[in-house]
Copies of this chain bind each other. A is one copy, B any other.
Amino acid sequence: MSAGKTNPGSFFEDFAVGQVLQHATPRTLTSGDIAVYNSLYGPRFAVQSSDEFARAVGYPRSPVDDLLVFHTVFGKTVADISLNAIANLGYAECRFLVPVYPGDTLSATSEIIGLRENSNRASGVVYVRTRGRNQHGEIVLEYVRWVMVRKRDQTAAAPAPVMPKLAERVDPGALGRAVPKLAAYDFALAGAPHRWSDYAVGEKIDHADAMTLEEAEHQTATRLYQNTAKVHFNLHEQAQGQFKRRLVYGGVVISLARALSFNGLANAFHIAAINGGRHVGPCFAGDTVYAWSEVLERAELPGRSDIGALRTRLIAVKNRSSAAFPLRNAEGQHEDGVLLDLDWWLLLPR
């Protein structure tokens, strides 16, 4: 009599390598979505904040924050990929290819590129390559993620394991396609004098600022992305679970850490690629998030004397200061309180 129309989500055995999924719901991003996003994280990068600044730089107007694009595309995949996920394990080969502007409509597809049953036979790892497209069919974003997904039936036969070969980092030669040739860039208006060449490999930057998260905030953010994964929203159910409370969507931590990183990386106005990333620990409402960055690599971009790429590791920690750059203990484990260990390429003016 029922259940037939309710989406129960996919289980591990429902996926097959090569399968392509068209995700619902296409979404037109507006200046309203941007305002809600800004009010939840408080980013201050001038290119995204001011149409005038963006035009001076060479954009037709302010592009949408890269992470709002990422979360919007990611959100679409949840109902098809990770409704029965146990954990989001990692990201790789994420590239931001085309700027998105208010009024653009994003949709998403995912291809299953790998499957591996876990030895406990209760779950398996699903690798997907997701592509976000605008209304012109251009791929604005693509990334690989892998998630641990429950099996419906423990006894179901496992597919032959397929493990995709993923790049350790995105080749910097491929970066910068979403950034116009820089015309004018006003460092005073942008908030700091530091250019690409002012950063050194090995340099660590304490972003110093911090923010305490509330339930209403992370829920509002996650709904903005139309991401309805129940662990973020259903206290009645979560109260019976491992953590006894709602879990903050990992993307909220990424956006928060990115906004905090303005203090020290004010001119890193574009995320060109995410090389990899792990949500090291769970984040809950009431936690105070701090962040710091380390410069891992510096790369020139072919044919671009205007901008350069900085590969940084962005670390978010909770309920402890970032001033001492907490990361790993003597045993090589992530220290208590580390939430996020992200490796990405940022672009800055040269």
* Segment from A139-147, A202-210, A299-307 that makes contact with B: A202-210
Distance between A76 CB and nearest chain B CB, rounded to angstroms: 9
On whether A220 and B223 interact (CB within 8 A), knowing A2-B204, A52-B28, the answer reads: no
Instruction: Tell which of B45, B105, B207, B265 touches A25, judged by Cβ atoms closer than 8 Å.
Output: B45
Q: Are B234 and A288 in contact (CB under 8 A)?
A: yes
A93 CB to closest chain B CB, in angstroms? Answer: 25
Cβ-closest chain B residue relative to A62: B28
- CB of A324, distance to nearest CB on chain B (Å): 10
B38 and A2 contact, CB distance less than 8 A:
no
Q: Are B5 and A264 in contact (CB under 8 A)?
A: yes
- State which of B7, B26, B222, B265 has its C-beta within 8 Å of the C-beta of A49: B26
Question: Which of B31, B39, B50, B319 interacts with A27 by CB under 8 Å?
Answer: B50
Given the complex, which residues of B lie within 8 Å of A266, measured CB to CB?
Answer: 24
Contact of A210 among B7, B207, B230 (CB under 8 A): B230
Q: Write out, one digit per residue, whether chain A residues 191-229 have a CB within 8 A of any chain B CB (1) or not (0).
A: 110100011001111111111101111011111101010
Contacts of A40 in B (CB 8 A): 220, 223
Chain B contacts for A264, CB-based, 8 A: 5-7
Q: How far is the CA of A298 from the CA of B158 in the complex (A)?
A: 43
Known contacts: A216-B215, A217-B216, A288-B236. The answer to whether A24 contacts B209 by CB under 8 A is no
A103 to chain B, nearest CB (A): 7
Alpha-carbon separation in the docked complex, A6 to B45 (Å): 15
Q: Does A178 contact B (CB under 8 A)?
A: no
Contacting B at CB under 8 A, from A228-251, are: 228, 230, 233-237, 246
From A62, A209, A320, A325, name the one whose CB has the most chain B CB atoms within 10 angstroms: A209
Kindly state the separation between the CA atoms of A191 and B108 in the bound complex, as whole angstroms. Answer: 12
Give A288 Cβ to nearest chain B Cβ, in Å.
4
- A22 beta carbon closer than 8 Å to chain B: yes
Which of B6, B233, B288 contacts A207, CB < 8 Å?
A: B6
Contact A263 B3 (CB under 8 A): no
CB pair A44 B226 closer than 8 Å: yes
In the assembled complex, the CB of A26 is this many whole angstroms from the nearest CB of chain B, namely 4
Smallest CB-CB separation from A34: which chain B residue?
B32
Q: Are A32 and B36 in contact (CB under 8 A)?
A: yes
Instruction: Provide a sorted-by-A list of 23 A–B residue pairs whose CB atoms are within 8 angstroms.
Output: A1-B203, A5-B194, A6-B206, A7-B191, A8-B208, A24-B46, A25-B189, A26-B189, A28-B51, A30-B31, A32-B34, A32-B35, A33-B38, A35-B224, A36-B39, A38-B226, A39-B224, A49-B226, A210-B233, A212-B246, A214-B216, A235-B286, A235-B288
